[in-house]
Structure 1
Amino acid sequence: MAEVTDARVVNTTCPYCGVGCGVKAEIAPDGNVSVRGDGEHPANFGRLCSKGSALNETIDLEGRLLHPHIGARRASWNDALDLVASTFSRTIAEHGPESVAFYVSGQLLTEDYYVANKLMKGFIGSANIDTNSRLCMASSVAGHRRAFGADIVPGTYADLELADLIVLVGSNLAWCHPVLYQRIAAAKEKRPEMRVVLVDPRRTMTADLADFHLPIRADGDGALFAGLLGWLADHEAVDRDYVAAHTTGFGAALAAARSVCLDEIAEQTGLQADELTSFYALFAGASKVVTVYSQGVNQSSTGTDKVNAIINCHLATGRIGRPGMGPFSVTGQPNAMGGREVGGLANMLAAHMEIENPDHRDRVQRFWRSPFIADRPGLKAVDLFRAVADGRIKALWIMATNPVDSLPEAASIEAALKACPFVVVSDVLTQTDTIRHAHVRLPAAAWGEKDGTVTNSERRISRQRAFLPLPGEARPDWRIICDVAQRMGFANAFSYASPAEIFREHAALSAFENGGTRAFDIGALAGIDLAHFDGMGPFQWPLPDADAPAETRFFGDGQFFTPDRKARFVAISAIADTRTSRDFPLILNTGRVRDHWHTMTRTGKSARLSQHLAEPFVEIHPEDAARYGIVDADIVRVSTMGHAILVRALLSTRQARGSVFVPIHWTDQFAARARVDILVPGLTDPHSGQPASKHVPVRVARFEAALYGFAVVNEHPPMIEADYWALAKCRAGWRVEFAFAKADRDWPLFAASLFGCAAGADFLAYNDATAGQQRFACFDGQRLAGALFLAPQPVAVSRDWAVEQLSAEFASQRARVAVIAGRPGRGLAERGATVCSCFGVGANQIAVAAKAGCVTVEAIGQTLQAGTNCGSCRAEIKGIINAYRLQAAE
């Protein structure tokens, strides 16, 4: 047999955010995988962010769930599936269909989502299927349906490059949707007259692209845009002809907006009156405006009203559905939009049909030929888990998500799972904070192994293609669901042989008795065969027939999907809650960091992605920190009534006074006490059911540590006994940060346990009683097994240097003794904190290059490569350059 020498390239789609970037996975003859952006994909044109660029570093089998388990024992697929099907069937027979539920995920492919929704709503007969997308875009769905009569994002990414003004509201594009940020940055460079306004309580890295930053008070967005509507009307900036011809409800919406004067708007938003009027004038004067909004708008108890306040302003000016203009919701997950298409939310039916509409229910039931159809909305995510807690739901199946970490009231979520009689979890890892509570664990296919479609934020459907074999006994989610459905007695309806068959049925349902009455229609693909599905390129919906345009916008003709075909204004109250108090005086805002994703089940595998921010933190303004006796790098206790977390202090003037920020990613797998969602209450928007994760009253206090520590180890450490610890993947091993409330411990024994020292290993120790410092190192042969550094203050050890020692060889005793010095040798420069993850470039290196004359981001890129790949770090590079310039000018 001839040797295979050519690499194989597979076009697929990134599994992270809703941008939906095209990815080329190249599989070498030896099986190694590399990834690069797909230059032909219209979402990204070859760009990838830091996370997408590191996808090949996250596909190993370490920690993978490879076989079904019942309890602690490995089981066959037949036994596991039989148990799931029989338990669900018995629970339904004894307690009714409302006693069971599915909790699914925007990480599922559309085909997975479709069959899960079909099984629950059409064959079990309950709508108790909800998704973690409830946490990120439910308010947009509700706002779209109220205004447009259907859940439709009107525009396209191209509008971001065509706009005269882009308003970014509660959206840190630079870190959360970096490829869109780079598209805007490139467009602004070509058209310097383009203006960008950032509306955000924090001065995020996105602010460095903005001409104008409005540091709005938490939940002040509704007031801001209600005020804008009134200002537009008062300054003759309303398109009266458009409003009269294509909308209803303008009078009531305007009356509500005018009920609050400019001074009151200033009070509600925390902005100055001149800031408001400057923004309002800029909005009125720009003919092409796109308002991009994300979680800062959606994750609110008034999120739906905020969405409609934004849409109201676009309707009032007629700036919707045409090139370079419109409201634009950017979703957080790769297939949040695909889930919306198939009715993945508890209050929706498949193909954008309404569960409350009897004609829609009848249509879907006839198409599915199902014995039942859910006749009312099911429980939304927060209420669903409350029903698990109080015993109404007795059997729960969780797919591809980690609610013990990601849902509000996270401690209650965990307690609910512990008490639930039957919990099934389909996932890819053996260890997550959720799967440890499962009675049945089912091994699911991961990215690179599964095959189907996803839909991005601009309604573009793309293929995710498998390029890796299924490991162990892992199966695609759609197949697992269909296997259970068949065992429950529904074999004929779930006898699919491939995802192509499911997609074909999904497309056919979208066209069934449609005739233009429903926006979502991909009927042109209802007859697609396997070969064409395999080769299908990215396209935007609608695609009702083969002659439809390849790329479309909605509403440019003034026609909407309401009964009278007119858009609806919604009257919005401009009153924002005050939730802080004397006991809890600060506002907690939660969100993402640049290089990590959700609960780190994927990004936590990559050493590169853990370099930038390696531990959980609380970002706090220096003045607030001083008020509470906190200094940089302290451990901080952030608490609400009854719950607390421990995180590292990060002092920053980018953070507004009176507010703190904590990222969502750290779990019990990566830190001792950093699950921030235990602090977030289950307060939800009354229309969308979306939790309010951006406005939580908290207090902060310095954790009185008696001893701090830092360690590097070449093996994942066993159970870590410390009051505070944070674990991160690094080159050739792991790095760990510590803090201890008490210093009286057998530290040599602690170190030996941490390192896993074998008998006969070379164990070194150093103790400086005067300085209170202790250091330990263990060598296995010529390699470092681990090093631990302890001090009464945050440990002043070069982290990058210590990490590099895990890859070094130590033949001499002198070299081994040098390890516990904890810093580079004489003449060796320290890189500093990682800024560019793609090329491993540190802050000190950038500062040195700036001092040598590289005073632009482009010059730094030419010298160090930093910022030349994904571009996510360009704002930080610019900040370091500016800091050097300021220092040099003093």
Structure 2
Amino acid sequence: MKDFDLSPANATCTTCPYCGTGCGVLAAPDGAGGLTIKGDPTHPANAGRLCSKGSALGETVASDGRLLTPQIDNRPASWDHALDLVASRFSETIAKHGPDSVAFYVSGQLLTEDYYVANKLIKGFLGTANIDTNSRLCMASTVAGHKRAFGTDTVPGTYEDLEQADLVVLVGSNLAWCHPVLYQRLAAAKATRPNMRVIAVDPRRTATTDLADMHLAINAGTDVALFNRLLSEIHEQGAVNAEFVTGHVTGFDAALDAASSTDVTVTGIPHAQLTEFLNLWIRSERVVTVFSQGVNQSDHGTDKVNAILNCHLATGRIGQPGMGPLSVTGQPNAMGGREVGGLANMLACHLDIENPEHRALVGGFWNAPNLPDHAGLKAVDMFRAVSEGRIKALWVMCTNPAVSLPQADFVRDAIANCDFTVVSDLTATTDTACLANVVLPATGWGEKDGTVTNSDRVISRQRAVLPKTGQSRHDWDIISDVARRMGWQDAFDYSTPAEIFREYAALSGLAAAQGKDFDISGLSDLTNSEYDALHPTRWPIPTRGTSGDRMFADGRFFTPSTRANMLALTQSSAPPAVRGTYRLNTGRIRDQWHTMTRTALSPRLNQHTGEPFLEIHPQDALAIGLKAADLTKVESRHGYAILRVLITDRVRPGAVFAPIHWTSEYASAGRICTVIPSATDPISGQPDTKAAQVSITPFAPTWYGFAVSSSRLSPDTGYWAAARHPSGWRTELAGQNTPDSWETFAQTLFAAQDATFSSVIDQTRRTARVALHQNGQLIGALYAAPNPVAVSRSYVANLLGSPGRTALAGHPGADQPDPGTTICACFNVGVNTILNAITTQDLLSVEQIGVALSAGSNCGSCKPELAALLTSARTKTAAE
């Protein structure tokens, strides 16, 4: 990692664009087109910490590949031409087919000001609530669960509760990889307070479970049964807070009756371990239950959320320091989007679209002529309507639904066949942008200016540190310009994000007067300079100078009765398993983000895991006939993906796991959402992305290959996966037809007709190694074999741009160490370097590895892997 000296005094204070932790970042131009990056020590979310992705932000802001001008039908166009076309097509569509024939699909990576203007335009002026967001795929079940229990979408807990709790229960949350800074805060608190306990509830063993004192390897989808059993045990042990329940809760008796009839054996948790969990939860007054995608991404995710909330309400463990439920969001502004009404069934400031008084309030405030009286289409239904031709004009902003939505091929085809599609994004090369009639260049992180809200209600500024790229414009500016062209000049006459923020803050005061929780009206009179200087602050902020009262500390909720609602819940029955299929779980990995539009630009983030993979249990791999590093076809009736096999006991027999990130830009068939059905939670509309039944078969190529190259390749093979490397590109390959001539194949693959070739071809073993040189420098190398290629990948990639005399060997000589696969992305430390240091320096702990190599000393996300390497080295030494 580069050494630099940044402080809030000489750098721009901004906010990380990745997960919902909302870390503060210090950024300054590095003079070479990138940024130097450091965690902001003054920000309350991270106090200077950053994860591997945040640390690498400076590598993701180059202008290479950016969309520089608007495009119409893949041809450059002026802004006037493009926006006139957008305005006229949306106007004509509404005039001919009605307002519900148009839709916006937006993103938790938009800033709050962007989100607010989009919501205002479509709901207030276009006259439809057909605006939904990729947050529907992330936290919609939490929104619904909160509203059922509390009357509003209120997150009761704060990050500080993690450090004050005696017990932290992580449910469906791989915190170490998905919210690494929160994981660091929890790990630090546990180290400081040895009596603190951590329990992980997850069907899969993850990096997070290594921190836990107890791992409940629950049967997937049975969370309601577990927390119903906890509620029953709370009652049986006399742990119900009768005073709190009597004074502040409704529905207790019905909830308890339903819980008491639940069969907890469906969870698969051994009785002794279950008893230990129940006793520990009940006897720990200060308990925080953290939940995330493993709870939400389910066809009964809302019930899972409410099962957790029931237990906290029954014990009164809510609204007090160190206790309560805490939902952690997946995106940087998922909360901000919820606050401005970015979901199809909401209005701004947590108001309800189907409430006439709320509609009248918002309509009057906006002077909006066309406010709809019914909810719009949620994400999955929206794209079904696009496919059926009911939605004829679609605007997608800062997201990639052709990759991320269930039945991704269906969604891709729906967008391709839509009468008129607009995409606002940084590039025109995403799977979704490639399908659009009009692509508009939007600003990206480092250029944008506005606010975001993190998982514990802290509003932070995201500030520009770089000039806009090409002709790109801010999303709020693009939307406002279209609105003005449609005839609403006064309502969208914005010139700065501060104006939008002031308007939004003023509306929140009116919402608070209606009994809603969200109130930042104390900021409604900020001057432009005060907005520019706004420090991180937690809502509610009803008056200037106040910040972030703890929610529900007085036992009052936002229901008409001011009481919280407990719900009677039953464990849903899993659909019968289809013989010969496996249950597919999907999720994130440590160093990638969503559909890789940003993280794939960072060479170091691609060294840890460079291609899509499938985790499968050894027992299942043996039954199917799969060996380590083979390729496999994962298939359902909706589509298929081809993935690298990773055999591991982290998953259970009958269950497999695949990451969500790969797109058609970086792999030939890595879009895992192609196989996922569009089953949704009936209340929240959130898709279930963790329960697809899939078949798994060997993908049997005649040859496997690996290539390094100075420039990106365009393979025409049965399988490929490309990843940036600091020296160029790494590409995994496989084909079902062996080339007649490997030299000719390589010449075509590398598009280097004038390069000098050297090769070693073994016809008997069917192996080939070809190196290409230009002006005495290695520009490419190809290695092929009938089995997965054994080559020192990092070593040969590092030879690019050098004479590369040992490229054909594929391995370093005895005097040239091979660092191996990167384990620590922050400091680019490889597995072989770590194992060698453990052996030669007698390192006995993760902390000692950090001192010796720096590995694990920054973000800490690799610490579980370092611990595993220590165990492996000790086991090997003992065996010898």
Range of TM-score over shorter length? over 0.9
CA distances 1:317-342 after superposition (whole Å, capped 9, x unpaired) = 11001000001100000000000010
Partner of 1:494: 492
Q: Structure 1 pair 730/29, CA: closer, same or farther in 2 (3 Å)?
A: closer
Question: Following TM superposition, by how much is the alpha carbon of 1:175 offset from its aligned partner in structure 2, in angstroms?
Answer: 0.2
Match for 1:80: what amino acid? A
Match for 2:93: what amino acid? T
Q: Is the 8 A contact 2:827 2:854 kept in 1?
A: yes
* CA distance, structure 2, for counterparts of residue 492 and residue 748 of structure 1: 66
1:840 to 828, 848, 854: 828
Q: Structure 1 pair 854/807, CA: closer, same or farther in 2 (3 Å)?
A: farther
* CA distance, structure 2, for counterparts of residue 745 and residue 379 of structure 1: 53
1:668 to 664, 668, 688: 664
Match for 2:815: what amino acid? G
Q: Is the 8 A contact 2:70 2:79 kept in 1?
A: yes
- Of stretches 561-570 and 624-633 in structure 1, the one that deviates more from structure 2 is 624-633
Partner of 2:849: 860
- Of stretches 171-180 and 643-652 in structure 1, the one that deviates more from structure 2 is 643-652
Match for 1:278: what amino acid? E
1:602 to 595, 598, 613: 598
Question: Following TM superposition, by how much is the alpha carbon of 1:552 offset from its aligned partner in structure 2, in angstroms?
Answer: 2.5
Q: Structure 1 pair 438/513, CA: closer, same or farther in 2 (3 Å)?
A: closer
Name the SS for the 1:84 alignment partner.
helix
Partner of 1:383: 381
- Of stretches 867-876 and 822-831 in structure 1, the one that deviates more from structure 2 is 822-831
Partner of 1:722: 717
The answer as to 2:336 corresponding to 1:342 is no
Q: Is the 8 A contact 1:347 1:377 kept in 2?
A: yes
Match for 1:861: what amino acid? G
* CA distance, structure 1, for counterparts of residue 592 and residue 50 of structure 2: 14
Partner of 1:621: 617
Matches within 5 A, 1:2-13: 8-13=10-15
CA distances 1:457-515 after superposition (whole Å, capped 9, x unpaired) = 00000000001111110000000000000001111100001000000000000002633
Q: Structure 1 pair 30/619, CA: closer, same or farther in 2 (3 Å)?
A: closer
Question: Following TM superposition, by how much is the alpha carbon of 1:8 offset from its aligned partner in structure 2, in angstroms?
Answer: 4.8
Matches within 5 A, 1:433-832: 433-512=431-510, 514-515=512-513, 517-548=515-546, 550-584=547-581, 586-718=582-714, 720-759=715-754, 761-809=755-803, 815=805, 818-832=806-820
Match for 1:20: what amino acid? G
Q: Structure 1 pair 513/253, CA: closer, same or farther in 2 (3 Å)?
A: closer
CA distances 1:396-453 after superposition (whole Å, capped 9, x unpaired) = 0000000000000101001101110000000001211000100001000000001000
Matches within 5 A, 1:292-371: 292-371=290-369
Question: Following TM superposition, by how much is the alpha carbon of 1:579 offset from its aligned partner in structure 2, in angstroms?
Answer: 4.4
* CA distance, structure 2, for counterparts of residue 745 and residue 119 of structure 1: 59
Q: Is the 8 A contact 1:638 1:701 kept in 2?
A: yes
Question: Following TM superposition, by how much is the alpha carbon of 1:58 offset from its aligned partner in structure 2, in angstroms?
Answer: 0.2
* CA distance, structure 2, for counterparts of residue 490 and residue 358 of structure 1: 24
* CA distance, structure 2, for counterparts of residue 275 and residue 707 of structure 1: 48
* CA distance, structure 2, for counterparts of residue 745 and residue 82 of structure 1: 54
Question: Following TM superposition, by how much is the alpha carbon of 1:29 offset from its aligned partner in structure 2, in angstroms?
Answer: 5.7
* CA distance, structure 1, for counterparts of residue 174 and residue 260 of structure 2: 30
Q: Is the 8 A contact 2:70 2:439 kept in 1?
A: yes
Match for 2:236: what amino acid? D
Question: Following TM superposition, by how much is the alpha carbon of 1:839 offset from its aligned partner in structure 2, in angstroms?
Answer: 1.0
Q: Is the 8 A contact 1:758 1:780 kept in 2?
A: no
- Of stretches 46-55 and 648-657 in structure 1, the one that deviates more from structure 2 is 648-657
Question: Following TM superposition, by how much is the alpha carbon of 1:744 offset from its aligned partner in structure 2, in angstroms?
Answer: 4.1
Normalised by the length of structure 2, the TM-score is 0.98
* CA distance, structure 1, for counterparts of residue 511 and residue 796 of structure 2: 65
Partner of 1:885: 874
Name the SS for the 1:587 alignment partner.
strand
Partner of 2:3: none
Name the SS for the 1:725 alignment partner.
strand
Q: Structure 1 pair 579/593, CA: closer, same or farther in 2 (3 Å)?
A: farther
List alignment gaps of at least 5 residues for structure 2.
Answer: 1-5
* CA distance, structure 2, for counterparts of residue 564 and residue 271 of structure 1: 38
* CA distance, structure 1, for counterparts of residue 191 and residue 232 of structure 2: 33
The answer as to 2:404 corresponding to 1:406 is yes
* CA distance, structure 2, for counterparts of residue 239 and residue 178 of structure 1: 34
Partner of 1:106: 108
- Of stretches 446-455 and 744-753 in structure 1, the one that deviates more from structure 2 is 744-753
Q: Structure 1 pair 579/448, CA: closer, same or farther in 2 (3 Å)?
A: farther
Name the SS for the 2:504 alignment partner.
helix
Normalised by the length of structure 1, the TM-score is 0.97
Match for 1:776: what amino acid? V
Q: Structure 1 pair 745/684, CA: closer, same or farther in 2 (3 Å)?
A: farther
Partner of 2:181: 179
- Of stretches 836-845 and 586-595 in structure 1, the one that deviates more from structure 2 is 836-845
Q: Is the 8 A contact 1:215 1:656 kept in 2?
A: no
* CA distance, structure 2, for counterparts of residue 31 and residue 743 of structure 1: 42
Partner of 1:871: 860
Question: Following TM superposition, by how much is the alpha carbon of 1:546 offset from its aligned partner in structure 2, in angstroms?
Answer: 1.8
Q: Is the 8 A contact 2:140 2:685 kept in 1?
A: yes
Q: Is the 8 A contact 2:407 2:638 kept in 1?
A: no
Question: Following TM superposition, by how much is the alpha carbon of 1:299 offset from its aligned partner in structure 2, in angstroms?
Answer: 0.2
1:231 to 206, 219, 233: 233
* CA distance, structure 1, for counterparts of residue 56 and residue 414 of structure 2: 35
Q: Is the 8 A contact 1:757 1:785 kept in 2?
A: no
Q: Is the 8 A contact 1:248 1:568 kept in 2?
A: yes
Question: Following TM superposition, by how much is the alpha carbon of 1:374 offset from its aligned partner in structure 2, in angstroms?
Answer: 1.5
Q: How many positions carry a matched residue from both structures? A: 872
* CA distance, structure 1, for counterparts of residue 30 and residue 877 of structure 2: 49
Matches within 5 A, 1:13-162: 13-28=15-30, 32-162=34-164
Name the SS for the 1:828 alignment partner.
coil
Q: Structure 1 pair 685/745, CA: closer, same or farther in 2 (3 Å)?
A: farther
Match for 2:404: what amino acid? S
CA RMSD between the two structures: 1.3
CA distances 1:151-192 after superposition (whole Å, capped 9, x unpaired) = 000011000000000000000000000000000000000001
Match for 1:692: what amino acid? D
* CA distance, structure 2, for counterparts of residue 645 and residue 76 of structure 1: 39
* CA distance, structure 1, for counterparts of residue 56 and residue 296 of structure 2: 29
- Of stretches 737-746 and 708-717 in structure 1, the one that deviates more from structure 2 is 737-746
* CA distance, structure 2, for counterparts of residue 642 and residue 135 of structure 1: 18
Matches within 5 A, 1:190-339: 190-260=192-262, 264-266=263-265, 268-339=266-337
Match for 2:313: what amino acid? L
Match for 2:41: what amino acid? G
